Amino acid sequence: MINILYEDNHLLVVEKPINVLVQSDDTKDEDLLTMLKSYLKEKYQKPGNVYLGLVHRLDRVVGGVMVFAKTSKCASRLSKQVLDHTFKKTYYAVLCGTLKTNGHLENYLVKNEKTNTSYVSNQGKLSLLDYEVMASKNNYTLVKINLQTGRHHQIRVQFSHIGYPLYGDARYNPNYKVGEQIALFASSITFLHPVTKESLTFTLPLPKRFPYTLFE
């Protein structure tokens, strides 16, 4: 059952579970978009196809808050906020290593379509984020991240690039151990309601699992 955080005639805000695709791919695994369309179809007894607009994405392995648009007009308006950087996304991550100071990361990232990975290159797209060190313990650091651009695997690549890979990151952490779950969580989003123009913020608590529990 998907955790519905907010719903009106225009929007649907939910908690994306970890290890669930946002939309279908070649694996044909169950995806969040299809699940939510089924939820709307059943709840409102809608005939035919149900429209639900995808405004932003999360990696399959990442959980957290997401908003979907119930109309194409709302999808367009929310997508514009994403492009204008007025759509704010806050993440928490647990890094391997002890990071002592707050900072700003600025790199150029290229996506390798064949391997579905990204890497730092001067030929890439500008990628920006700010981070705040919240706590450090047992050679792990909890950081709060303000993501300014939404590049493929951006947070994971940028922190790995400076020598602080995310705990449980199978792609970018050379010390990853099989069975670890990546410690990256989309904790909050803030945006203007596409119809009422009211500022809305939706926040989720950190998951109750290691390594987040180190910092409770």
> So what's the pLDDT on residue 48?
86
State pLDDT tens for residues 113-166: 999 999 999 999 999 999 999 999 999 999 999 999 989 999 999 999 999 999
User: Closest by alpha carbon to 163, among 105, 103, 95?
Assistant: 95
pLDDT at 213 over 80: yes
d(Cα 80, Cα 175) in Å, to the nearest integer? Answer: 39
User: By three-state DSSP, how is residue 174 classified?
Assistant: coil
What is the domain range of residue 194? Answer: 3-215
Contact 70, 134 (CB under 8 A): no
d(Cα 108, Cα 104) in Å, to the nearest integer? Answer: 14
d(Cα 184, Cα 97) in Å, to the nearest integer? Answer: 15
Q: What's the structural domain count of the chain?
A: 1
CATH code of the domain in which 99 resides = 3.30.2350.10
